[in-house]
């Protein structure tokens, strides 16, 4: 019987052609959008991990509570010991120190008077240590627009747009003004080794990148760090593992009432990323639902038109001894087959599009200019295993739903009536 249906679908192009085209388009769009959302989410999580959250992050409890204010007075101290302990307890994780700091950049002229000034969002990474993975992890070299990485603690990278605005040249001196960990004023001169653009609005506003030792010194944070970031050595965020490590670490300090006691947070527990990821899942769900609905309505109507054309066929089949319910089920089976064919075509088209978008991406930097969230400026699609299957849900479901609705007409019509179409 399936072979009988199959022959009908193949030979009667007008029966299958339009639905297959409609399904292909819908499925291709679903696949493309899903891949695109996957890509956006993955990029976003990845970028957040690299710059802000790590796969897990250790801070003091007090620091965590006031994180947005860069409260370096609440930073971790004696981090060398803590790092040693972490490396021993969790050898599958690469641990690094980070300091973020605010302040002012002052550009002096020849006489030492202020030529220009701007706010600085400072970031200190372990740049000079040859064992450090940070330069590679943060892709700093790729982000350098001109010049080179700092080679000494006396050198700094400054944000490219900031440098252009103040007309800064490589090799010129700038002065950083800020407060130390203990609250006293501090200033420090740096030579500009290069300019940098990370491509994320939240990072590029007045950015200044120095070595971690330079920051520790100028902020009076000997052996201190605002945060310790952990990266799983596999390179891929794995929530269960990160949560387990965090739990194990936090259990040790469970009964420590000290507000400077360290605490570990997995990525998903930071920056509302959990909400964001749930939201993305929900959006994907809604998207698929909308496609199912819209395509069902269209296919319902094509089903009605096709059904009218086929009343004669149904009449003959009834006379030959098929029952109405059987004809109805065969129609649905036919819909499943057509839905599958359409979904296969649609998935191929969608994957081709997604593959293209995976390479080229869409530049959204214009839209994220003012975003305070860490978002990549170019969003690329990402093809994950689920992308190969996701299109089949709306494809097959919509065709079946559309056919079920249009097929009701067969039930409503009296048998003799269907049959009279013959005469």
Partner 1 sequence: MKTETIISLENVTKRFPVGEGEFTALDHINLTFTKGEFSGLVGPSGSGKTTLLNIIGSLDVPTEGKATVIGHDIASLSHKASAKLRNHHIGFIFQVFNLLPVYTVFENVEFPLLLQNKTASERKKAVMEALDWIGLADYAKKKPNKLSGGEGQRVAIARAMVKRPEILIADEPTANLDAANAHSILKMMKKLNRELGTTFIFSTHDEKVMTYLERIIHLRDGKVELDERIKNKNQAS
Residue ranges that bind partner 1, judged by CB under 8 A? 1, 4, 7-8, 11-12, 312-313, 316-326, 414-416, 419-420, 422-423
Q: How far is the CB of 365 from partner 1 (least distance, A)?
A: 55
- Please name every residue paired with 41 in a beta bridge, in sequence order, or none if there are none: none
CA-to-CA dists, residue 272 to 53, 55, 129, 265, 266, angstroms: 11, 14, 32, 12, 12
Q: Does 422 bind ligand ATP (CB under 6 A)?
A: no
Q: How far is the CB of 420 from ligand ATP (least distance, A)?
A: 6
Instruction: Tell me, by CB under 6 A, how many residues bind ligand ATP.
Output: 2
Q: In this complex, which beta carbon is closest to partner 1, that of residue 5 or of residue 145?
A: 5
Q: In this complex, which beta carbon is closest to partner 1, that of residue 14 or of residue 110?
A: 14
8 Å CB contact between 75 and 81: no
Q: Pick one of ligand ATP, partner 1, none as the site partner of residue 349 (Cβ within 5 to 8 A by kind).
A: none
Task: Single out the residue of 50, 102, 58 nearest to residue 78, CA to CA.
Answer: 58
Q: In this complex, which beta carbon is closest to partner 1, that of residue 130 or of residue 321?
A: 321
x/- mask, ligand ATP, residues 360-399, rule CB under 6 A, reads: ----------------------------------------
Cα angle for residues 203, 173, 97 (degrees, 5° grid):
45
Q: In this complex, which beta carbon is closest to ligand ATP, that of residue 279 or of residue 411?
A: 411
**Length of the chain counted residue by residue:** 423
8 Å CB contact between 295 and 394: yes
Q: Pick one of partner 1, ligand ATP, none as the site partner of residue 385 (Cβ within 5 to 8 A by kind).
A: none
Q: In this complex, which beta carbon is closest to ligand ATP, that of residue 365 or of residue 415?
A: 415
Q: In this complex, which beta carbon is closest to ligand ATP, that of residue 371 or of residue 415?
A: 415
* CA atoms of 340 and 334, how far apart (whole Å): 10
Q: How far is the CB of 326 from partner 1 (least distance, A)?
A: 7
The CA dihedral of 159, 162, 168, 169, to the nearest 10 degrees, is 30
Q: Does 417 bind ligand ATP (CB under 6 A)?
A: yes
Q: How far is the CB of 314 from partner 1 (least distance, A)?
A: 10
Element holding 4 (H helix, E strand): helix 2-11
E runs forming strands in 337-413: 362-363, 378-379
State the helix-helix crossing angle for 13-48 and 392-412, rounded to 10 degrees: 150
8 Å CB contact between 196 and 158: yes
* CA atoms of 355 and 245, how far apart (whole Å): 35
Q: In this complex, which beta carbon is closest to ligand ATP, that of residue 142 or of residue 417?
A: 417
Q: How far is the CB of 287 from ligand ATP (least distance, A)?
A: 46
Q: In this complex, which beta carbon is closest to partner 1, that of residue 40 or of residue 330?
A: 330
Q: Pick one of partner 1, ligand ATP, none as the site partner of residue 239 (Cβ within 5 to 8 A by kind).
A: none
Q: How far is the CB of 298 from partner 1 (least distance, A)?
A: 24
Q: How far is the CB of 308 from ligand ATP (least distance, A)?
A: 17
Q: How far is the CB of 20 from partner 1 (least distance, A)?
A: 16
Task: Single out the residue of 351, 56, 396 nearest to residue 229, CA to CA.
Answer: 56
Contacts 24+ apart (CB under 8 A), 324-330: 324/410, 324/411, 324/415, 327/410, 328/407, 328/410, 328/411, 330/1, 330/5
| Residues at the site binding ligand ATP, with contacts judged by CB under 6 A | 416-417
């Amino acid at each position: 019987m399936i072979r009988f249906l199959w022959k009908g679908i193949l030979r009667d192009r007008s029966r299958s052609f339009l639905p297959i085209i409609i399904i292909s388009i819908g499925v291709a769009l679903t696949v493309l959008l899903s891949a695109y959302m996957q890509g956006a989410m993955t990029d976003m999580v990845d970028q957040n991990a690299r710059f802000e959250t790590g796969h897990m992050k250790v801070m003091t409890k007090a620091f965590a509570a006031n994180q947005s204010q860069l409260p370096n007075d609440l930073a971790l101290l004696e981090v060398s010991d803590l790092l040693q302990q972490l490396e021993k307890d969790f050898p599958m994780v690469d641990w690094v120190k980070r300091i973020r700091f605010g302040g002012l950049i002052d550009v002096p002229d020849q006489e030492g008077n202020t030529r220009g000034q701007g706010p600085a969002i400072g970031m200190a990474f372990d740049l000079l240590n040859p064992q450090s993975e940070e330069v590679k992890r943060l892709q700093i070299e790729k982000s350098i627009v001109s010049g080179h990485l700092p080679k000494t603690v006396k050198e700094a990278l400054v944000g490219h747009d900031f440098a252009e605005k103040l007309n800064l040249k490589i090799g010129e001196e700038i002065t950083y003004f800020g407060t130390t960990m203990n609250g006293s004023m501090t200033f420090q001169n740096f030579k500009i080794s290069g300019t940098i653009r990370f491509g994320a609005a939240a990072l590029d506003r007045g950015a200044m990148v120095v070595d971690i030792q330079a920051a520790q010194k100028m902020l009076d944070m000997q052996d201190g760090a605002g945060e310790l970031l952990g990266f799983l050595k596999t390179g891929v965020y794995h929530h269960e593992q990160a949560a387990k490590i965090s739990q194990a670490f936090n259990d040790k300090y469970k009964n420590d009432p000290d507000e400077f006691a360290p605490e570990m947070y997995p990525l998903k527990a930071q920056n509302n990323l959990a909400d964001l990821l749930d939201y993305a899942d929900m959006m994907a769900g809604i998207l698929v639902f909308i496609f199912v609905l819209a395509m069902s309505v269209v296919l319902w109507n094509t089903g009605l038109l096709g059904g009218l054309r086929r009343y004669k066929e149904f009449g003959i089949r009834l006379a030959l001894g098929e029952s109405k319910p059987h004809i109805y089920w065969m129609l649905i089976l036919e819909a499943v087959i057509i839905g599958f064919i359409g979904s296969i075509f649609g998935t191929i088209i969608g994957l081709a599009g997604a593959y293209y978008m995976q390479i080229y991406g869409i530049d959204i930097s214009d839209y994220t200019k003012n975003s305070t969230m860490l978002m990549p400026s170019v969003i690329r699609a990402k093809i994950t295993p689920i992308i190969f299957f996701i299109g089949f849900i709306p494809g097959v479901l919509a065709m079946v739903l559309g056919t079920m609705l249009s097929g009701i007409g067969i039930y409503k019509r009296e048998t003799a009536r269907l049959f009279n179409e013959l005469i």
